[in-house]
Amino acid sequence: MIAERGYPAFSYHPRAHGDSAGNPEDLTFEGLVDDAIAAADHALKTSHASRLVWVGIRFGALVAAEAMRRRRDAVGLALWEPVITARDHFRKLMRHVLYYELSQGHRPSMTVDQMTERLDREGKVALLGFDLYRKFNQSVIEADLARNLENWRGPTLIAQFQRHSGLSRDHRGLKRILERRGAQVR
């Protein structure tokens, strides 16, 4: 949609995602942020633009916010179903495993705390659709979207596709925090 309106647009897959190379066991939050910064540098160079609009989708919101925090060339931010904190996000994904097992008529095999212990002890835990590795979890567990955006005052879009009459509680909270800091949020 952006490109159709005449603006340069660039989308990328970070390492160990999609068709990108890389071993998911070696993935770290820092590596994802480095990839985002390299993608931004490439986009600016090839488009001859001087400013960026960052788009963070779900977990990518944490990555985009951290990359933006390290740069000074952002003019806008779009967050699609943004993850607010990594810790809460991973616990929610672990709860989804329990709900899935229940929906299949099975007693959950582990509690969330037991999954966390397994992750620490064995180095990975299976979630629905992917494995969460200890190295990645440890590198990102303290990531917090509002904290990483503490210096952001620019125009921001928060989009969600969940069926609600308005933004979810977490997204409303983020909107209030950003507006108190002076950002214009839609």
The string of pLDDT tens digits covering residues 52-84 is: 999 999 999 999 999 999 999 999 999 999 999
125: which strand partners?
132
Could you tell me the two tokens for 132? 């969460």
CA R_g for the chain? 18
pLDDT for 166 beyond 90: no
Per-residue b or e along 67-87, where b marks 16 or more CB atoms closer than 10 Å to that residue's CB: bbbeeeebeebbbebbbbbbe
0.85 cut: is pTM over it? yes
Alpha helices in 28-162 (DSSP H): 29-47, 60-69, 86-103, 112-122, 134-140, 145-148
Provide the pLDDT for residue 177. Answer: 97
